[in-house]
Structure formats: structure tokens, C-alpha cells
Amino acid sequence: MRTPLTLAFVAALAAAPAEAQISLHIDIGLPAAPPLVAVAPRVQVVEGFGDEVFFYGGWYWCRRPDGWFRARTPRERFAFVEVRRVPRDLVRLPPGRYRNWHREERREERREWRREERREDRREDRREDRGRGPGHDHGEHRGHGHD
């Protein structure tokens, strides 16, 4: 009697659709209004926090070694998000760069960009000057509509 009943039970289980969902949440422990610093267009990072936590598109996003998580507010639990559902602007950011990020680091980075731009401008100016001989733009202009 047990064998037919057991077989019927197993058959009923096998016929039921297999719907296994895994829900993974983490508590990050952000303050209610964490300080945000802009690091890219439309991307802000939580300043001075041990994990990489970004604010983008109305969501808080956290990148950890085990994947990406997001929450609508900084105080709620962060839910796991498949990497294919994470905005490209966030995925493209260099991993680990924004842990414990501080506004001063951003300023120094911008300062270095400006220095590099000025160096490049000077290099371009020197390249342009090399192509010109002495007396360029001085004296008679022949072949430029002047007789």
C-alpha cells in the first residue's frame, strides 16, 4: 500500500512546475541621507563608505565581490540584481576605485586632468610652430591674392 501511495506522491511532485526562486538581500548600513559626490555624468558615489555604493537613476546601487545589489532608499535592504540588469554607466566604472571615496580625491583628479590638458595644448602649439620657418607671417604675401 505504501509503494503506490509514495509513487502517486512523487508523480504529483514531478508534475508540478518547478519554481525555485532565490532571494538574496544584504543590509549595508547607510545613513538616512548619505553624502553623495558626483563621479561621472548622472553617477554619484556615497562618500567615505567601505563598500562601493552609487546613486544612479533614482536607485542606490552597491557593487560587491558577490555581485550587484540595489535599493530605492539608503535605509532599506539591498536586493541582488543580475549584472545584465545593471546600468552600463555603473558597470563601466573601474571596480574598487570608489571604496572610501572622498571629495578631495575627486578634486585632485580634476586638477590632474586640467594639467594634462594644458600639457597637451602646449605640445600641439610646439608642433604647429615647428612647421613654420623664420619670418612666417611676415613680409610679402605671395600667392595669396596680393600682387
pLDDT in tens, 86-111: 999 999 999 999 998 887 755 666 66
Q: Does pTM top 0.85 for this prediction?
A: no
Q: What does the pLDDT read at residue 5?
A: 41
* Count of C-beta atoms within a 10 Å radius of residue 121: 10
Q: Tally the domains of the chain.
A: 1
Over the stretch 26-84, which tens digit does the pLDDT of each residue have?
Answer: 777 777 788 899 988 999 999 988 889 999 999 999 999 999 999 999 889 999 999 99
Residue 7 C-beta-side C-alpha neighbours within 13 Å: 4
Q: Which residue has the higher pLDDT, 58 or 142?
A: 58
Whether 10 maps to a domain, the answer reads: no
Q: What does the pLDDT read at residue 8?
A: 44
Whether 135 maps to a domain, the answer reads: no
Whether 34 maps to a domain, the answer reads: yes
In the structure, what pLDDT confidence band is assigned to residue 133 with cuts at 50, 70 and 90?
low
Whether 93 maps to a domain, the answer reads: yes
Paired residues of 122 in beta bridges: none
Q: What does the pLDDT read at residue 145?
A: 58
Question: How far apart (Å, rounded) are the C-alpha atoms in residues 40 and 4?
Answer: 65
Whether 4 maps to a domain, the answer reads: no
Whether 46 maps to a domain, the answer reads: yes
Q: DSSP letter at 31?
A: -
Whether 52 maps to a domain, the answer reads: yes
Whether 144 maps to a domain, the answer reads: no
Q: What does the pLDDT read at residue 125?
A: 84
Range of the domain at 56: 22-100
Q: DSSP letter at 85?
A: G
Q: What are phi and psi of 26, to 5 degrees?
A: -135, 150
